[in-house]
Structure 1
Amino acid sequence: MKSRRDERGSASIEAAIGVPAFALFVGLIIFGGRTAMTHGAVESAAADGARSASISRTNETARAEAESAARSSLEAQGIDCLSVTVSVDTSDFDVPVGTPGTVQVTVECRLNLADLAVPGVPGSRIITASVSSPLDTWRERS
């Protein structure tokens, strides 16, 4: 018959191994959720920017409207980026009326992950999305 003394300390060992593993698991779940949520928000911001740019009349207005709409969309969704870059391709504003064209908006968000402190997870990650929207083929452009 075994005595109970053989199992002494096993709970401490289990805790020493299990607690950090559980914390790592939770950190990775938070990392995945935060990244997925931010990616969806960045895609939505790019779509908002592209739509705003596509209904503008001029190249300069399209750029300004796209950037404003994209930044407003990220802010409204509560996404806290370390930095946001909005690139707008309005080269199709130069094509003649009657020729199909698009405007493309690319939004880049540097997501802060420094608070997670999970091994292997960088302090920040860049999330990028590009969306294009058609220009009205028969509307005057300048």
Structure 2
Amino acid sequence: MNLELAPSPPPQTPILRRPLLRRPRDDRGAVTMELVVVVPGMVLLIALMTAGWRIWSVRAQVQDAAAAGARAASLATSGTAAQASAREVVNADLQAVSSACTAPAVVVDSSGFSTPAGTEAHTRVDVTCQVALSDLIVAVPGFIKAEGHATSRLDTFRERRP
């Protein structure tokens, strides 16, 4: 038995064709364009996040200071002492947390001290201030108003003086 192998056909080479009038693509400058578009967007996003954090933080600080002032006012023995005590506590509280709150205005409602003992009464403290946004990473002109309101119940059976 004589086996002979048949010769294999010659390999065919593919014909490469170039499209007519087509230029090769060039990516030069693509990174520069991406930076020009992306970097300002990222800076703006960071600036907005920082401004939002500042506003949220100061509003929380003002609310906490109003609550502390209302509690201090409810522990006072008279309406005038309650007003002085509330203002002192609010200012000390805002200074202790190094708040960005400028010129806080404290309004104390101590009308509950004029009611007779044995009736329910409350004190109310309202704190309002302005928050500057000009000292952030990206300076934003203007101010934002921050407000805090709190009430505290007076001891029902304690003697009160206006």
SS class of match (1:83) = strand
> How far, CA to CA, are the matches of 2:98 and 2:24 in structure 1?
58
% of aligned pairs identical?
Answer: 36
Count of aligned pairs between the two proteins: 140
Which shifted more, 32-41 or 68-77? Answer: 32-41
CA deviation vs aligned residue, 1:8-40 (integer Å, no higher than 9, x gap): 222111111111100000011111111111111
> How far, CA to CA, are the matches of 2:113 and 2:48 in structure 1?
44
* 2:159 aligned partner: 140
1:85 equivalent to 2:120? Answer no
* 1:53 aligned partner: 73
CA deviation vs aligned residue, 1:58-103 (integer Å, no higher than 9, x gap): 1111001000001100111111222211110111111111110000
More helix by percentage: 1
- Correspondence list, 1:1-142, <5 A: 3=24, 6-116=26-136, 122-142=141-161
Root-mean-square deviation over aligned CA pairs? 1.8
> How far, CA to CA, are the matches of 1:122 and 1:140 in structure 2?
50
More strand by percentage: 1
> How far, CA to CA, are the matches of 1:59 and 1:93 in structure 2?
6
Question: How far does residue 109 in structure 1 lie from its aligned partner after superposition?
Answer: 2.1
> How far, CA to CA, are the matches of 1:76 and 1:117 in structure 2?
24
SS class of match (1:7) = coil
> How far, CA to CA, are the matches of 2:141 and 2:82 in structure 1?
35
TM-score under structure 2 length normalisation: 0.80
Amino acid aligned to 1:17 = V
Tell which structure's C-alpha radius of gyration is larger. Answer: 2
* 2:13 aligned partner: none
> How far, CA to CA, are the matches of 1:134 and 1:28 in structure 2?
39
> How far, CA to CA, are the matches of 1:118 and 1:132 in structure 2?
37
